[in-house]
A and B are shown apart, each in its own frame.
Chain A
Amino acid sequence: MTLVSSSSSQRDTSFAGAGAHVAWFRRLQPSGLLWIVLAAILAVLIVAPVGMLVMKSFTHPDSGGFTIQNYIDAYGKARHVQALVNTLYMGAAVVVLSLLFAVPLAWACTRTNMPGRNLIRFGIFGAFVMPPYLGGVGWILLAGPNSGWLNVAWQWLTGGTESIVNIFSFPGLVLVMAINTYFTIFILVSAAFEMINSEMEDAANILGAGPFTTAMKVTLPLVLPSILGSALLTFLISIALYGVPALISIPARFPVVVIQLSEFFSFPLRIEVAAAYSIPLLLITAGLLTLQKKVLSRKGYTAVSGKGGERRIVNLGKWRWAAFAYSLFVVMLSVIMPLLVLVMAAFSKSWVGGLSLDNLTLQNFHYVLFEHSSSQKALVTSLATGAAAATAAILLALAIAYIVQRRLLPMSEVLAFLSMSPFVIPGIVLAIGFYAVYALPPVGLYGTYLILILAFTTRFLPVAYTTSMAGVRAIHPEMEEAVRILGGGRLVAVRKVVGPLLKRTLASGWLLIFVPAAQELSTAVFLVGPNTRVVSVVLLDMSEEGLLERLSALGSVLLVIIVAVMAIGVRFLGRDFMLRRS
């Protein structure tokens, strides 16, 4: 009985009431089997890699016994601790800058009469499509300390030899990170702004507050939970990003955790130390999430509801042009400028050659499409693994969301919790866990497509789950009940009612996963084999050799393909499928 009491209380009663036989038998009903299958999949995707990571961190590499030596090796050096401190510092700075970029834009786009709102939305959407490392390369071309375009332009204007910007610096690193992460805040905070009704703002107006006072004192506090939540998410994304630090923090001499982790992954390969080194990252993220829950639970935010009242657009008067100028500035920094130099470099013989016919060439495209040994295959691999992972994640998440929402099985919260948990696991840490469990024998998946697909599926499962949950929640059970009254089973109801109704949600969720998955680097970097290289890894190798023109060409090809897939999606789903998520 002591064994049994450690499991849930619900089960306890059934055990105590009807005897163990019936309970076991009941659990083997088809629905119970489904639970077991889903739980097993999640165990494979999440529990095993993370569990292995924790276990490895306490395992002696040779004897296999318990040890804390790995932690001593990982944190016994000032430089290693410094990298962790640097990472937190960088994460905080990225959050601040991302908020400065995203919150004003979200407000201006959703609640004001700023001109060109759709244009700005479209631009920010570009920030979603552009992978972080390409933004980074764009900024290296723009702000390289000696020959970056901005510095050359400045020297040309002033006739001096001074440089004004240096991307290989802490501010540079933070800028490149922020232009890649502010999109998340924009989406989440925009959604919150659209939920607020105007009654309280009206009250403030009646009492004599101007539009900005109202925004600061009424509107902003109302969306604070969204801001905090998305800020936290941004923090987690930025501390785990691999590509940007690889490009910028090495020349900037600013060691961060992901770079240190790659050191543990070089010779002598020290997975155990790498595991130990990444545990604090996990603890920090888990701690922050708990803190967020506590802070938010203390206050009532019921004013933010989808119902009642109407939302009025704030008239900014002459300030609306100032708002537009700022929004355009952010879009310029994050999308237009880096994209422009990237495309120009892709068509140049030498990116420093400037705009001239002599310098114009298609050779870079020819090279990456037809001559380079692996980029063609890598493009296919990236798109295929991205599509496979997006499909797998959506199907799995949908099944779980449906079960959780309809309360079909006991303990479905466990499935829900597991589905959301990869959210707190940095991509590179997940990759180490996957490597430790599945790459090595007896499983031996190293160098297969399967390990990439599994890892990508896990990485993007939370996005899939959130989308599926929102979709399922919107469908009233009445319609399924009608099917069942007419004699159809649960599966018929799912196939004929739920599926068709969810088509749109699923498709947009699929795209939301496909885009980042086809560009994923952090998880891929330790898991690819010679035949399974994805584009992001090929791009990283090109950056290592300094082949920026060719890198730009391959990056442009990747962007064109992804934008084309998105365009098809937009055609079927409507333009605002991404920007109106709740």
Chain B
Amino acid sequence: MLKQTLSLVLMAALSPLAAHAQSENFSEHEQALYEAAKEEGEVIWYTSQFTTEMSEAACELFMKRYEGITCSPVRATGGVTFQRIMQEVQAGAVQGDILSTNDQTDLIELKKLDALEQFVPNGIETMSPVLKGMNDSDGYFFVSSVSPYGITYNTNLVSEEEAPKSWSDLLDPKWKDQVAIAHPGFSGSAGLWTLAMRDLYGWEYFEKLEVGKPQIGRSIADGYNLVVSGERKVAVTAIALSRQGAVDGQPVATVTPSEGLMLPPSGTAILAAAPHPNAAKLFAEFMLTEEYSVWLRDLQRYPLHADVDTAEGIDPLDPDKVLIVPAQEAIEGLAEVQEKFRDTFGI
């Protein structure tokens, strides 16, 4: 009895607040999804587009906005995440709800297997025009983050003048044993970078790179951390990591290579057999909210929402100055460069 009374009192005390918050912020569509998602109670987010820490922060933000729904991020590299989903699709036991990856070719493969659900979030209307064009035209996935590849270096070990200025500078013998890259067999976006470099300079680029014995990590974040620790002086990495690191006081600086940043637009899709489809849709809508874009901006990343500007000191993305590997080329070329990479680097 006491319990019941207490809960009634609590509900009465809280409901005006909650109702107020919802009626002000949530559209009808969002509110309906929220109600349905609350029934499901959970969303499992497979992601390789952020680090573990960022994935968790995004989930925290989601859980704050939509009380009563648990958000569980499962972070791994693109290759590992894709492998996991393929295993699940093959096993007929899909466990994840929504997938974010830096490698859109994975999404295209999954789309071919009917493993994705067609869903265009309402929020796509407010997306910045540059990014809007990169969404899947059939409505199976949308751009959920942009984390271009650039070069980062350790400011304790390398001066600004010494630092590489272009992708081809990494071939300079002075960087022998000092470069870190990621393995395209493990990291999806590293695969795209490998394709982009091949398109620019031919496979010779990697044969020359190998002379300098770069350290090969499994993830693109690994190279960044190698530079932070001073184990390596320069790394090919997602510049969002080093921009944020610099703000946090790490001894790192970011270089925009003269050939252009390599842009793997991260894509997000809902899995066809998702155990929590409504929560997944709600999460997709959440990624396109202004709140989410502000959060991205504050982490020195590119916002998705048209009304949110980039952080101070970061130029808005210029689509003409970035290297983009077309999806079709990626699908055709990825397996080949993975194989060639293994032959050239012996691993």
Contacts and interface: CB of A to CB of B under 8 A. Distances in A.
Contacts of A490: none
Contacts of B342: 79, 255
Nearest to A83: B347
Contacts of A440: 90-92
Nearest to A252: B347
Contact of B52 (A250, A372, A446): A372
Contact of A530 (B59, B95, B178, B183): B95
Interface string B67-93: 000001111110110110011101111
B177 A266 contact: no
A89 to B, nearest CB: 15
Contacts of B96: 530
B185 interface: yes
Given A250-B218, A440-B91, A541 B346 contact: no
A145 B92 contact: no
Contacts of A297: none
Interface in B93-144: 93, 95-96, 106, 109
B56 A441 contact: no
A374 B53 CA distance: 11
Interface in A529-543: 529-531, 533, 541-542
A5 interface: no
Contact of B230 (A147, A372, A446, A545): A147
Contact of B216 (A250, A265, A545): A250
A26 to B, nearest CB: 42
A531 B225 CA distance: 27
A86 B232 CA distance: 27
Nearest to A530: B74
A138 to B, nearest CB: 15
A194 to B, nearest CB: 44
A253 B347 contact: yes
Contacts of B83: 265-267, 269
B225 A266 contact: no
B52 A542 contact: yes
Interface in A426-476: 435, 439-441, 444, 446-447
A255 B346 contact: yes
A251 interface: yes
B185 A147 contact: no
B87 A541 contact: no
A393 B96 CA distance: 32
Contacts of B55: 373
Contacts of B232: 146
B336 to A, nearest CB: 14
A542 B186 CA distance: 14
Interface string A246-265: 10011101110001000101
Interface in B173-206: 177-178, 183, 185-186
Given A444-B91, A444-B93, A446-B91, A544 B77 contact: yes
Nearest to A440: B91
A265 B76 CA distance: 15
Contacts of A541: 52, 75-76
B35 interface: no
Contacts of A147: 229-231
Interface centre among A144, A269, A545, A548 (most CB of B within 10 A): A545
A536 to B, nearest CB: 14
A545 B92 contact: no
Interface string A47-91: 000000000000000000000000000000001000000000000
Given A254-B347, A351-B229, A545-B219, A531 B95 contact: yes
A133 to B, nearest CB: 13
B72 A446 contact: no
A446 B83 CA distance: 14
B224 interface: yes
Contacts of A481: none
A533 B88 CA distance: 15
Contacts of A265: 83, 87
Contacts of A576: none
Contact of A439 (B87, B106, B347): B87
B229 A352 contact: yes
Contact of B44 (A267, A530, A542): A530
Contact of B225 (A79, A250, A254, A547): A547
A168 interface: yes
Given A147-B230, A267-B82, A251 B88 contact: no
A30 interface: no
Nearest to B156: A352
Interface string B196-238: 0000000000000000000111110111111011111000000
Given A146-B232, A265-B83, A350-B228, A371 B77 contact: no
A447 B86 CA distance: 13
B274 to A, nearest CB: 12
B345 interface: yes
A548 B225 contact: yes
A545 B225 contact: yes
Contacts of A545: 51-52, 219, 221-222, 225
Contact of A446 (B80, B87, B178, B345): B87
Contacts of A146: 177-178, 230-232
A342 B257 CA distance: 36
Contacts of B286: none
A512 to B, nearest CB: 32
A546 interface: yes
B222 A544 contact: yes
B39 to A, nearest CB: 19
B312 interface: no
Nearest to B105: A267
A441 B92 CA distance: 7
Interface centre among A145, A251, A350 (most CB of B within 10 A): A251
Contacts of A267: 79, 82-83, 86, 106, 109
Interface in A225-275: 246, 249-251, 253-255, 259, 263, 265-269
Contacts of B73: 373
A253 B216 contact: yes
B327 to A, nearest CB: 15
Nearest to A259: B347
Nearest to B87: A269
A169 to B, nearest CB: 11
B46 interface: yes
B332 to A, nearest CB: 14
A263 to B, nearest CB: 6
A545 B186 CA distance: 12
A548 B109 CA distance: 33
Nearest to A546: B225
B343 interface: yes
Contacts of A263: 185
A520 to B, nearest CB: 18
A248 to B, nearest CB: 11
Given A168-B215, A440-B90, 18 more contacts: A79-B342, A250-B216, A250-B347, A251-B215, A266-B80, A269-B83, A350-B229, A372-B56, A373-B55, A444-B93, A446-B91, A530-B44, A541-B52, A541-B76, A544-B77, A544-B219, A545-B221, A547-B52
25 contacts: A79-B346, A144-B231, A249-B347, A250-B183, A255-B342, A263-B185, A266-B80, A266-B82, A267-B83, A268-B86, A269-B86, A372-B56, A439-B91, A440-B90, A447-B88, A447-B95, A526-B87, A530-B95, A541-B52, A541-B75, A544-B222, A545-B52, A545-B225, A546-B226, A547-B225
Interface of A: 79, 144-148, 168, 246, 249-251, 253-255, 259, 263, 265-269, 350-352, 371-374, 435, 439-441, 444, 446-447, 526, 529-531, 533, 541-542, 544-548
7 A-B pairs closest in CB distance: A546-B225, A546-B222, A545-B221, A446-B91, A530-B74, A446-B93, A147-B231
